[in-house]
Amino acid sequence: MNRTLSALQGAVGSSPLHRLDPRVKVVVALVLVVGIVVTPDGRWIAYPLLWTLIGSLAGVAQVSVWRLGRLAGVALPFTLAAATLMFTTPGQPLIAGLPITDAGLARFAGIVLKSWLSVQVTLLLGLTTPFTELLWALDSLRVPTTLTAIVGFMYRYLDTLQDEAERLLRARAARSGGGSGGSLLWRARIAGGMVGNLFLRSYERSERIHAAMLARGYDGQARRQSPPPLTRSVLLLGALPVFTVLILQIGVRL
């Protein structure tokens, strides 16, 4: 996963958005996501305007807005969990014989669009900011150190976990002749055993890594440089999309 993100970051190159202070980018991304989430239901004009703002930032970052939209489509299947709102929200029925209401359909469509736009914002933040700088920015913004440490270790050892899983899959293929025969119950039992084995291997490796870190003086806090002061020009550049979102939200509510 982090290999893919690193490859995407490398493919994008350098831009003014890449060079912007990561603390400013984190705050701007948070404001954008909050602005998207609080958009009232039924204000359909707000969504293309928000997408235009995201597309403008993507253009500054030299990222294709169409590619960004396709990558954000990974969130759409998860929005199906809100499909019940089409049947449970009071409103006027749209189809005879089906309890789908206009208000329920509008709320569900709003959730889908908000999720899609919010994922685009987070993807743009990830594509323009190295993960280490994101952690540094979160620490500078007084996010609890324990939380940033957990996220940092999780990201760092995702590749190790992937390698362990690939070794288990190769071992299974070697012992079964590369075939995938057997009943569904047999394959489920094998998969369950592999998941358990992967958990045990991960737990044992984490114990060894933690012992090695303690032997080298780790005290629960990562050592990072002190954040440099924010200049007026950097704050002004970061404030532009924030003011745009605020004006847009005022406009759609009025």
**In this structure, are 96 and 117 located in the same domain?**
yes
**Does 119 fall in a domain?**
yes
> Of 222 and 63, which is predicted with more confidence?
63
When pLDDT is averaged across residues 5-32 and rounded to a whole number, the result is 74
pLDDT at res. 118: 92
Burial class (CB in 10 A: 0-12, 13-18, 19+), 177: exposed
> 9 pLDDT exceeds 60?
no
* Tokens at 196, concatenated: 């358990």
**Does 151 fall in a domain?**
no
> 7 pLDDT exceeds 60?
no
**In this structure, are 78 and 189 located in the same domain?**
no
> Of 73 and 15, which is predicted with more confidence?
73
**In this structure, are 21 and 135 located in the same domain?**
yes
- Measure CA 98 to chain center: 35
- The domain total for the chain is 2
- Give the domain range for residue 182: 157-215
Radius of gyration of the chain (CA): 23
Q: How far apart are CA 203 and CA 199, in angstroms?
A: 6
When pLDDT is averaged across residues 22-26 and rounded to a whole number, the result is 88
**In this structure, are 176 and 53 located in the same domain?**
no
State the pTM of this model.
0.76
When pLDDT is averaged across residues 100-110 and rounded to a whole number, the result is 84
The most confident of 12-26, 56-70, 92-106, 174-188, by mean pLDDT: 56-70
> 179 pLDDT exceeds 70?
no
* Tokens at 43, concatenated: 């204000």
* 37-71 per-position pLDDT tens digit: 888 887 888 888 889 888 888 888 888 888 888 98
**Does 192 fall in a domain?**
yes
**Does 164 fall in a domain?**
yes
**In this structure, are 83 and 194 located in the same domain?**
no
Q: Is the Cβ–Cβ distance between 133 and 22 less than 8 Å? A: yes
**Does 109 fall in a domain?**
yes
**In this structure, are 26 and 60 located in the same domain?**
yes
- pLDDT bucket at 120, cuts 50 / 70 / 90: very high
**In this structure, are 136 and 246 located in the same domain?**
yes
